[in-house]
Chain A
């Protein structure tokens, strides 16, 4: 159990690592080119692992609805956005605001899809996140003089 927890934390660390490396690549090239290499290198890597382990086409992938295939193009914009933002607002702000946006849009999506959930907890959670986002922008004037 502890080992799995460590793996889950490691997955989060790797998300940050990949964003930091892609951000560095974007500094030398462009956000879009960084997103392209991220996808191409990831594709080669996953292809190798899948060939070694097998089962890439297991199940009934053909049954998936057409819109499920849009994850790739969305990811291109997502990775480009992260690579563009990280040198501008820093790793912590980038990570926190992406998390905030993901959480709140997740609640919206659940509401739209009619997924069951605790309304009170949703309202408190979203309010907390919005308060955090508000605190992140709007720096007091004292700090502004230093920068």
Chain B
């Protein structure tokens, strides 16, 4: 791997890691809304303000379109999947699974889906086969996450 490719990869990895940090802040904000209002409200408000902010950013930054042809309509439906996720997690959070079980099983779902998606090159994204090293890395990250979820809390 060349130095340039390595530093590009480092940048991508740092960005993904940082996005995880953003997710923590987002969960804190939305969870605080949910503590006062309804679960619908806690999902509706961030979607509303997010749409407005994204629209403003689009108008200001005017990012270049990668392709001139419009993509098929179904690629606009990612938001529905996100909306269903909110409802499912708020449903399971209040069962015996609790928040920790919901998060842990959600991680399992994400890992299985992402491996499948990579191997298939799902929806026309680049196809890639995970290496043994990727699996090892995944085991470490999952093990650490489970330790934090089930043993790291105060209970």
- Chain A contact residues, CB within 8 Å of chain B: 1, 4-5, 7-43, 45-47, 49-50, 53, 55-65, 67-82, 84-107, 109-110, 115-118, 121-122, 124-133, 135-137, 139-141, 143-144, 147
Residues of B within 8 A of A85 (CB): 12, 15-16, 19
Contacts of A102 in B (CB 8 A): 20-21, 23-24
B83 touches A28 (CB 8 A): no
CA distance A37 to B51 in the complex (A): 8
Given A22-B78, A29-B65, A91-B118, is A71 in contact with B30 using a C-beta cutoff of 8 Å? yes
Q: How large is the interface on B (under 10, 10 to 19, 20 to 34, 35 or more residues)?
A: 35 or more
A117 vs B110: C-alpha distance in the bound complex, in angstroms? Answer: 26
Report Cα–Cα, A95/B108, bound state, in Å: 11
Hey, which chain A residues are within 8 Å of B84, CB to CB? 11, 14
Other-chain contact of B37, A61, A97, A121, A128 (Cβ < 8 Å): A61
Q: Is the CB of B144 within 8 A of A126?
A: yes
CB-CB under 8 A for A46 and B26, given A39-B54, A71-B46: no
Q: How far is the CB of B4 from chain A (nearest CB, A)?
A: 12
- In the complex, chain A residues whose CB is within 8 Å of the CB of B87: 49
Using Cβ atoms and an 8 Å threshold, which residues of chain B touch A110?
A: 152
Task: Report the nearest A residue to B87, measured CB to CB.
Answer: A49
Tell me, in angstroms, the Cα distance from A99 to B21 when the chains sit together.
9
Q: How far is the CA of A86 from the CA of B102 in the complex (A)?
A: 24
How far apart sit A9 and B116, CA to CA, in the bound complex (Å)?
15
Q: Is the CB of B65 within 8 A of A30?
A: yes
Q: List residues of chain A with CB within 8 A of the CB of B36.
A: 59-64, 68
In the complex, the answer to whether B125 meets A91 with C-beta atoms within 8 Å is yes
**Once bound together, how far apart are the Cα atoms of A144 and B5, in whole Å?**
10
Q: Is the CB of B78 within 8 A of A18?
A: yes
Determine whether the beta carbon of A47 is less than 8 Å from that of B126: no
Contacts of B55 in A (CB 8 A): 36
Closest to B28 in A: A109
Contact, CB under 8 Å: B138 / A30:
no
